């Protein structure tokens, strides 16, 4: 329950100044907290962007495919998945190569 403002003008001004000071302090703390959270989010986003840029490089896909070819032959269940993923990736690479325009 919110208390009613006092009837005394001096007490009313004192209460008003206290409330303004408290709201200014809370606002300052909120800005500081948002700045800290924002810097952490920026750091994580930069890491995700670097990881994505690294993972989309063709040599990484080739190395991953070679590693999969070396490690997965023992698992019969995953053979279809392995060849399916390899086929999908080959299709993506081939279609992107054919879609790019060559300079004349």
The rounded mean pLDDT for the chain is: 83
Which parts of the chain fold into alpha helices (H)? Answer: 9-55, 58-71, 79-99
Q: What is the pLDDT of residues 10-44, one digit of tens each?
A: 888 898 898 899 999 999 998 888 888 888 888 99
Higher pLDDT, 12 or 69: 12
Q: What DSSP character marks residue 76?
A: S
User: Are 60 and 54 spatial neighbours (Cβ–Cβ below 8 Å)?
Assistant: yes
Q: Is the dihedral of CA 50, 55, 57, 63 positive or negative?
A: positive
CB neighbour list of residue 72: distance below 8 Å, 6 or more residues apart: 78, 79, 82
pLDDT category at 59 given cuts 50, 70, 90 is confident
What's the whole-model pTM score? 0.41
pLDDT of the residue at 25: 92
Note whether 72 and 78 are within 8 A (CB). Answer: yes
């Amino acid at each position: 329950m919110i208390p009613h403002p006092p009837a005394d003008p001096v007490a009313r001004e004192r209460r008003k100044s206290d409330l303004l000071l408290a709201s200014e302090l809370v606002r300052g703390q909120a800005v500081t907290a948002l700045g800290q959270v924002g810097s952490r989010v920026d750091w994580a986003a930069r890491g995700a962007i670097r990881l994505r840029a690294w993972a989309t490089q063709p040599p990484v896909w080739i190395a991953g495919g070679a590693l999969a070819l070396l490690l997965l032959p023992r698992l019969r269940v995953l053979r279809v998945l392995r060849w399916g993923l390899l086929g999908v990736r080959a299709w993506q690479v081939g279609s992107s190569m054919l879609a790019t325009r060559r300079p004349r």
